Copies of this chain bind each other. A is one copy, B any other.
Amino acid sequence: MKIVILRNNLKNALDAVSHTLGDASNLPILKNILIKAVGGKIQICSTDLETAVVRGVAGKIIDEGSVTVPFSVFNSVIGNIQNERIDLDSKKMGVLIKTDNYEAVIQGMNPEDFPIIPKVDKKDEFFEINGEILRESLNQVVGAAQISELRPEISGILFDVEPGMIKFAATDSFRLAEKTVYETEFKNNFERGMKFIVPLKPIQEFLRIMDGKTPVRIYAVNGQLMIENGDLELISRLIEGQFPDYNPIIPKNLTTEISLDKNELIGALKLASAFTSKNNEVRLKITKDSKVVEVYSSDSLLGENKYLIPAKISGEPVEVVFNWRFLLDGLRNLESDSANIGLQGDIRPSVIKTTADASFFYIIMPIKS
């Protein structure tokens, strides 16, 4: 292999593959990246055996071939080179890096030993979506997911592709976030509806490295996911199992409804958090005919505090306790400055949404106190 490549192009590609390296104690080659110059294309690849990232790079191929070298030393060298133009040349099992006044030889391994990155073959089954809309949608739900050894089926994001809409949903069983995207914003190439669960890590990784300006194609075939986004391919297994049916817990009979300034409540929760070191418990209190919500927290050793927020309130007086972190997550994901909180007393699920955007809601369980 012999290629010429511009430093910044190579740096960007290295950044893209930097988080999907594997654990070297299992298999040393997983700390390596594969640099391929094959079929007229240059690609940099990394895999942790569960998720793989393949990133194309513009450059000039003089001789085709491939090499695999440790990511850390290669990245450190490329990151410190000042010259624009970098020559890469395979050298026994490694690579020779050359610029005008610098040269380095990095020892590598046999590229034939690099793990095979799975192919997703049935290229006719995909949906395509605007990159920015996908990014915003995933960002609105991803915080509600949590990796659970006991419940792998909630350790990811549900992609529920139906005729005319896609729903993205995530839950950790204490809260649930759902975002709907309608057909005007994507193209569906599935003939029927389809549901699949994408693990949390590749979603977070995709959000880190994706290009929002370029459309995204998502394939899900035989337990494998492939995301195509311009120069980037991300391949991952899907999670087996059934995402819980959350329709029964969506609040339908609200007993108290509150409308208030989202940022004021966020500020009050941050203040309240200073007095909740043990349990994260914050109490919202609404008295009869009140025009304010009281946000209260206390700690027997530290002290106590209360914040009064002006609000439009209808329905019954209530005192309800939440984990302030979960409440904050829900509020932050609203795409407007006003928040609507719907309660069903102090035990049953509550809902956070905004009248400005019907495509998103967030359900949160109160804490029994």
Contact = CB atoms under 8 A, between A and B. Distances in A.
A143 to B, nearest CB: 20
Nearest to A107: B303
Interface stretch (A72-80, A202-210, A223-231): A72-80
Interface stretch (A60-68, A126-134, A267-275, A334-342): A267-275
A306 interface: yes
Nearest to A306: B103
Contacts of A326: none
User: Looking at A97, A104, A107, A305, which has the most chain B CB atoms within 10 Å of its CB?
Assistant: A104
Contacts of A73: 274-275, 302-303
Copies of this chain:
2
B309 A104 contact: no
Interface in A180-229: none
A253 interface: no
Quick one: which of A82, A274, A275, A304 has the most chain B CB within 10 A? A274
Interface in A286-329: 301-309
Contacts of A307: 101-102
Given A70-B302, A73-B274, 9 more contacts: A73-B275, A73-B303, A101-B308, A102-B305, A102-B306, A102-B307, A104-B271, A104-B304, A107-B302
- Which 6 A/B pairs are nearest by Cβ-Cβ distance? A104-B305, A76-B274, A106-B303, A80-B270, A105-B303, A80-B271
10 contacts: A73-B302, A73-B303, A101-B309, A102-B306, A103-B306, A104-B274, A104-B303, A104-B306, A106-B302, A107-B302
